Amino acid sequence: MLKKEVLDRLNEQINLEHFSANLYLSMASWASAQGLAGTAKFLKEHSNEEMEHMHKLFDYVNETGAQAVVGALKTPPNEFKDIKDVITQTYKHEKFITSKINSLVDLTLTQKDFATFNFLQWYVAEQHEEEALFSGLIDKIEIIGTDGRGLHLIDKELGTTIAVG
């Protein structure tokens, strides 16, 4: 049985993953409106991955016999400066999610909840992959540049980039 502190934080994480899905969906919509079809495809796929992360947590909580809570979501931003701004914000958001996962893992250790600790290892590995992906994309954008041909190349590259997770 889950301890209340752990359950509350798992439910908070469900909400955060759900928000991440909406954030990337909003970014995909912005990209589509700018004519950046590859970027829109990549971000929409990434949004779907976040929904899976949310469902994985949701199922885990319910499997323990506790009740997963689906909470309210704040509206994600829908205006962005340019493609670099989008990917930079994504990287920043993932670093925030990593800090939330890490503190949740820490809580499971202090609460001696080793089953949840074990379950969360998938998220620890996932966050490492996502941070590496987005930081690598920022490096590419900086090398290629975002003027005319550069923007076209980045959009093409994103269209073939597989969302991790």
- Site residues (vs ligand OFO, CB under 6 A): 17, 20, 50, 53, 94, 97, 123, 126, 130
Closer to ligand OFO by Cβ: residue 42 or 123: 123
Collapsed DSSP state (helix, strand, coil) of residue 111:
coil
User: CB of residue 149 vs ligand OFO: minimum separation in angstroms?
Assistant: 30
**For ligand OFO, which is the closer residue by CB, 20 or 161?**
20
CB of 22 to ligand OFO, least distance (A): 12
- Residue 90 CA: distances (Å) to CA of 59, 61, 112, 138, 159: 26, 27, 33, 10, 16
Q: Which is nearer to ligand OFO, 151 or 158 (CB)?
A: 158
Smaller CB separation from ligand OFO, 50 or 113: 50
Which helix or strand (DSSP H or E) is residue 158 part of?
Answer: helix 149-159
Residue 57 CB, shortest distance to ligand OFO, in Å, is 9
Q: How far apart are CA 63 and CA 57, in angstroms?
A: 10
Q: How far is CA 114 from CA 7, 67, 90, 118, 119, in A?
A: 14, 19, 31, 6, 8
Which residue of the chain is nearest ligand OFO when measured via CB? Answer: 53
Minimum gap (Å) between residue 147 Cβ and ligand OFO: 29
Alpha carbon distances (Å) from 25 to 84, 126, 140, 151, 156:
17, 19, 22, 20, 19
Neighbour count for residue 165 (Cβ, 10 Å): 19
Cβ closer to ligand OFO: 56 or 152?
56
Amino acid identity of residue 150, one-letter, is G
What minimum distance in Å lies between the beta carbon of 115 and ligand OFO?
Answer: 19
